[in-house]
Amino acid sequence: MKMKTKLKGVVLFAVLAMTVFPLGGAGAVTPEESFRRAFPEIKAEKIVPSPIPGVYEIRFSRGILYYDPSSETIIFGELITKGGRNLTRERRLELIRERAREIPLAQGLKVGGGKHQVIEFSNPDCSFCRKASHYLSQRRDLTRYIFFLPFSAKTEEKVRHILCARDRAGAYEEAMNGKLDKVTLNLCRSADVDALIRVHRETAEKLGIEATPFFIIDGRVVEGADMPAIEKILKGP
C-alpha cells in the first residue's frame, strides 16, 4: 500500500508511521540513542542524516528506512526529488555495491572464466532470468557467479537438482532452457547442498535483494533483465 506526500521539493512515498514508544522525554540524546531506545528490535547498521533536515536514514540488513527523532516515528518509503531522482534507490544501490565485496563468490555456481565478472541472483523458473541467462551464455568473456533465490518449493527442487548434479553448469543451462520443466528431477538429500542453498538465500538477504534477476557486473548494479544496461556495461566506456 502506497501513499504520496509532497515535501517542498521532495516526495516521500509510502509514509507509514509505526507505533511510537514513549521515552518519557528524549532529553539530550543523539538521534542514534533515540532510535535504538525507541525501536530496540530493529538492528541498525548505520544512522546518518537524510536529505530531509531533521530526518535520519536508518540502514539495516533489508534496506533503508527513515526516522524522525522529534516524534520518535519511523517512516517507510522512498524519497523522490521534484526532478525525478529516486534518492532512496540510489542509496540502496550504493549500499549493495559496498556489500558486494563480502559476497562469498566461492559459494556461487561458477560459469566461464572471462575478464568480466558477473554476479547473478537468479531463479530457474523466472522468465526474465532465462532471457538474461540466454544472452550471457552466448558470451565467452564472462566469469559468472550464480546465486539462487527460489520463491517456491517447486523452484527450490530445480535449484537442488542443479546443485546435486555432477555438472552443475550444464544442469543450470538445461534449467534455463526449459529442459527441466517436465522431467523427474534428482533431489539428492545432502547436508552440503542444504547449506549451500541457505548461503545463497542469506547472501541475497544481506544485500537486500528480494527479486530476480539481479546483477552486479564489473561492480555495477543492474536490476532486472535490462539488456541494454547489461550490454552497455560489458562494452565498456
pLDDT at 210: 87
pLDDT at 27: 54
C-alpha cell read off for 141: 568473456
pLDDT at 185: 87
CATH architecture of 103-235: 3-Layer(aba) Sandwich (3.40)
* Element of type H or E holding 136: helix 127-137
What is the DSSP secondary structure assignment for residue 122, as one 8-state letter? Answer: E
CA dihedral 216, 217, 219, 221 (to 10 degrees): -50
From residue 187, alpha-carbon distances to 13, 104, 124, 157, 182 in Å are 43, 24, 15, 7, 15
The β-bridge partners of 121 are 147, 214
- CB contact set of 30 (below 8 Å; sequence gap of 6+): none
Q: Where in the chain is the domain with CATH 3.40.30.10?
A: 103-235
Rounded Cα distance, 204 and 218, in Å: 18
Q: For the chain, which ranges sit under pLDDT 50?
A: 1-26
pLDDT at 224: 95
3-state secondary structure of 85: coil
pLDDT at 28: 75
Strands 142-148 and 116-122 turn out to be: parallel
CA dihedral 27, 28, 30, 31 (to 10 degrees): 40
pLDDT at 182: 87
pLDDT at 68: 95
